[in-house]
Amino acid sequence: MKRWYVVQTQPHAEERARGHLERQSYEVWLPLCRKKRRHAGRSEIVIRPFFPRYLFVRVDMARERWRPILSTFGISCLVGGAQGPEPLPEAVIAGLRERSGQDGLFEFDARPLRSGDTVRIADGPFADLEGVFRAKNERERVSVLLSLMGRDVKVTVASTDVEAV
């Protein structure tokens, strides 16, 4: 009977390992998510593994050759105990797949901001300043009340540049 197993990959080698396992005809699932990344003064949304350094492979240990998984490029080991690789309950994989979005990606929805919440501006000319969240408009921009030079000043910034404190 085919069961799901956890495979640990080498650092940043999840995609490489998945490709090599699929070429060997293994059923593989690599859960992915969108994450906000700041690099070179810019923020961008990137797709990354939901569980860094791990992916799932479905194999029948009694009937299929599974040892080639261990020597596949990008793979460190199959997760298990002293008795060898330990299978995951089907409910775990089913539960994870149910929680992923329509496109198969996991979303991290931070708690919604409410008027009066303290926020920090993470990017742009007002980076690292804290203020009070006022409102969000339909064009994915938010109004924040900042205290600048002894006065409260209302500024509008991209919603991706604001994070709750």
**What is the tens place of the pLDDT at every residue in 52-107?**
999 999 999 999 999 999 999 999 999 998 888 999 999 999 999 888 877 888 87
Does an H or E element contain 109, and which?
none
Residue by residue, what is the 3-state secondary structure of 54-98? EEEEEECCCCCCCHHHHHCCCEEEECEECCEECEECHHHHHHHHH
Euclidean distance between CA atoms 38 and 162, whole angstroms? 13
Ordered by start, the domain boundaries in the chain are 3-106, 118-164
Q: Determine whether domain 3-106 maps to CATH 3.30.70.940.
A: yes
Euclidean distance between CA atoms 146 and 152, whole angstroms? 5
> What's the confidence (pLDDT) of residue 110?
57
Q: Which two three-digit tokens encode residue 22?
A: 């699929």
Whether the domain at 3-106 and the domain at 118-164 fall into the same CATH topology: no
Give the CATH class of 118-164: mainly beta
Overall pTM surpassing 0.75 (yes/no) = no
